[in-house]
Structure 1
Amino acid sequence: MEIGKKLKEARLNRDLTQEVIAEKLNVSRQTISNWENEKSYPDIISVIELSNLYSISLDDLLKGDDAMMEHLQESTNVVKSNQKLLRAIILNIIVVILLVTLGMFLPSKSYYLVMIFCLAIVSSSLLLYQMIKRI
């Protein structure tokens, strides 16, 4: 059985609403709905809290749901996450260097420089987003 079905079944067996569970976990009701409908998966901390709330062992809750196990493996793999972040940083540095170099060879028209500056800002913003998302 998929984790969403298990979560919904356990919640209904305890006569609890999505609102009550959401309040206890400090998430929105829509988040609980998304977990139960398998549109998204809870993080490992939420899985543990749900296990406690529903008095279900983690083994029973997680066993048999390969997609959830893959999600947990990806979200808790620090080395892989660090490698992705390092690649993003290196790519950003290369892009900025290329844009600066390109700016040196273009005619001294101001709109070229503005365009290059904007591209550098977008590239740096994407990197910052990845760093914040990681936190």
Structure 2
Amino acid sequence: MTFGEKLQLLRKQKGISQEQLASKLSVSRQAISKWELDNSLPDTENVIMLSELFDVSTDYLLKDHVENTKENLISASSIKENLAPVNSKKEKYTIFSGIGCVLFSCLSFFVVWILEKVYPAPIVFYNTSTHLWKVGLDNFIWVHGLEDFMFIIGVLFVIGIGLICHKQIIWTTHKFHQLKSNQTK
């Protein structure tokens, strides 16, 4: 059996229309029709979602010679259950790393700010174009040559926010690309 024949059979066994399946996968009904007619194949993510939805292995869906038997059937849900602890542990470390970066950068900035208040730098720069003296935190950073350090803690802050929000960023970019590919079909 081809991929399209298997998909059509599984879809009909579940009593799902092409429109309903398309809605579950966030693709067009025409894409489902093309898959069932073997005019095209879904991307990897959609194959995985189909295997989870119909509780069959990806091998069964993609390989013509693999039968859906209990001996060789490794369902996507069982794979997902086995990988879930690893993914959540990795995700926790990523989020904790992000929180660490944000806290370190905020604490570093706070320390520089406190030092500026306790040990203010002498006013040594006068801007002739604005007729203003360089004072305060800006002067403290300039006098002590902390521009690079402030840049580094700014970059660490941005990296930390990125690590904390990485899953949302990945999801948003994936949905954007999925919408973009659906519009081109």
Tell me the TM-score normalised to structure 2 length.
0.39
When you count helix as a share of all residues, which structure comes out higher?
A: 1
Bigger radius of gyration among the two: 2
If asked which structure has higher relative contact order (CA below 8 Å, sep 6+), I would say: 1
Tell me the TM-score normalised to structure 1 length.
0.49
